[in-house]
Amino acid sequence: METFTSYLSLSIAVLLILIIKFSFASAKNNNKKLPPSPPSLPIIGHLHLVKRPLHHGLATISVRYGPVLLLRFGSRRVLVVSSRAAAEECFSTDNDVAFANRPRVPSLKLFTNGFTLLPFANYGPLWRNLRRIATGEVLSAHRLTASAASRAEELRGLVKRMFLDWKAQNKSDESSFTKVEMKSRLFDLALNVMMRMIAGRKYTFSQGEGVGGSEAAKRFRMMVEETFLLIDSTSNLGDSLPMLRWFDIGGAEKRMRKLLKEREELSQKIVDEKRRESEEEIKKEQTMIGDLLESQKQDPDFYTDETIEALAFSLLAGGTDTTSNTIEWTMSLLLNNPEALRKAATEIDARVGTDHLVEESDIANLPYLHCIITEALRLYPGGALLIPHESATELTIANYTVPQGTMLLVNAYAIHRDPAVWREPTKFKPERFEAGREEKGWMIPFGMGRRRCPGEGLATREASLALATMIQCFEWKRVGEEEVDMTEGMGLTLPKALPLEALVRPRRNMIDLLSKL
């Protein structure tokens, strides 16, 4: 009883403090032109208006109140931007640094171990050093070129396993199709590509291992998916209403603590395995972790195990889920638009041929494939709301005053489907990007400004090569007469709600080549 009374008294005290705080803030801002805002409720602000998925709910509100609006998620101010012009202003030369920080959200602080993960670190020395290492060790043009062979090898492994699965089920009838589930295959592909660049080893498939990879790989996939679900902007009410953190409604913080422990154990295991290799092996492979362990000998205070582990997980998580989702969305769109799939196959046959698998050097000669991927990223960007930013100072956007400490959500999904910019905005039309018919510059699937995703080059290379290789090697059909379900799932990285399943069979002119892999 005493405990309940204490909690009740403390809750009332916090409530009064919040009311006083908002009263002072409102009085202070009365003389400033703030962005338009819908009517709000006491304490919860506009949380009652927010519908899931969040990017759809915010787009609906923006249609009524305009492309720049100010909401309140409990105690947190949120600026929602849904036009390219306003987004460009947010990340212009004048405002880019002011919006370079990430929100200091309590649950993120917990999960990122004090904001030490690259995507969530505040703008400053730590972020600059982490980005410099990530770019130099993994994502630079030189490193991407050097790692091209490993990506090609992983693609060969993917199509070989698909071919063997088809062959095992169709020993007497080469005209038959086999049903495949692509989500796990594509995630394993992206995970292996990143693991080989970061640690010089595969994580999932060994020769003859079945679909889905090892149990550890399956758990990593679940860990990444749950991570992006939990760090969504409104997934934890305790971030918006601090008093609710005492009760952990929905168990979000408990799940984050569990994920943090698993993440640290996994990252430590990867670093320890690399450390056990000989110095000659480490220098020969030239992987990120190997290079950082060598740097650790010279500067142990900066290159701590914790720093190396955090950077490794940031790249693994960021380089697997978004890339595999992009490939899955794109193939789903092609299955629902077979004429575009046919045109892509014709282009590959004409410009690459069938005597060898598509190589990264061939991609530049496949302009229609490039249009397909660009259109898929327009319709289903890897981050529908990008990663949130936070204003470090008071600034002006679209002639409105944006207070210091305001969270910024850029609705890339709404911008990419703005009918004022795009003709038939919800329709899949790769041709819109041919010969500059529509301006690709209106797209921001990888963000803008100095916090733009540094993995853009790797993601586009990997997605292009994967799609070109799968189209070159196989015929694809929908499982039934109905179109592939395009329902969006929950989470920061815009996954498909239902994993893609399709019917495949090797193209006749590729059977000999696939048999020799």
**Residue 329, token pair as written in the block:** 């969305």
Q: Is the peptide bond before 300 cis (omega within 30 degrees of 0)?
A: no
d(CA 339, CA 333) in angstroms, rounded, equals 11
DSSP 3-state assignment of 370?
Answer: helix
d(CA 191, CA 203) in angstroms, rounded, equals 7
DSSP 3-state assignment of 397?
Answer: strand
d(CA 384, CA 365) in angstroms, rounded, equals 30
Integer CA distances (angstroms), 371 to 367, 440, 459, in order: 6, 10, 15
Q: What does the angle CA 278 – CA 136 – CA 286 come to, to the nearest 5 degrees?
A: 20
DSSP 3-state assignment of 69?
Answer: strand
166 neighbors 473 (Cβ within 8 angstroms): no
430 neighbors 375 (Cβ within 8 angstroms): yes
Which amino acid, one-letter code, is at 75?
S
On whether 453 is known to bind a ligand per the annotation, the reply is yes
d(CA 407, CA 74) in angstroms, rounded, equals 12
Integer CA distances (angstroms), 132 to 118, 125, 136, 263, in order: 10, 10, 6, 23
35 neighbors 398 (Cβ within 8 angstroms): yes
Q: How far apart are the first and last CA of the chain?
A: 71
**Residue 38, token pair as written in the block:** 């819908």
469 neighbors 193 (Cβ within 8 angstroms): no
DSSP 3-state assignment of 48?
Answer: helix
d(CA 127, CA 121) in angstroms, rounded, equals 6
d(CA 53, CA 150) in angstroms, rounded, equals 36
DSSP 3-state assignment of 506?
Answer: strand
Q: Is 420 exposed, middle or buried (0-12, 13-18, 19+ CB in 10 A)?
A: exposed
**Residue 407, token pair as written in the block:** 């969270």
383 neighbors 55 (Cβ within 8 angstroms): no
d(CA 233, CA 398) in angstroms, rounded, equals 24
* Residue linked to tokens 């959500």: 409
* Residue linked to tokens 């088809």: 166
d(CA 373, CA 166) in angstroms, rounded, equals 27
Residue stretches of the annotated binding site = 453
Residue stretches of the annotated binding site for heme = 453
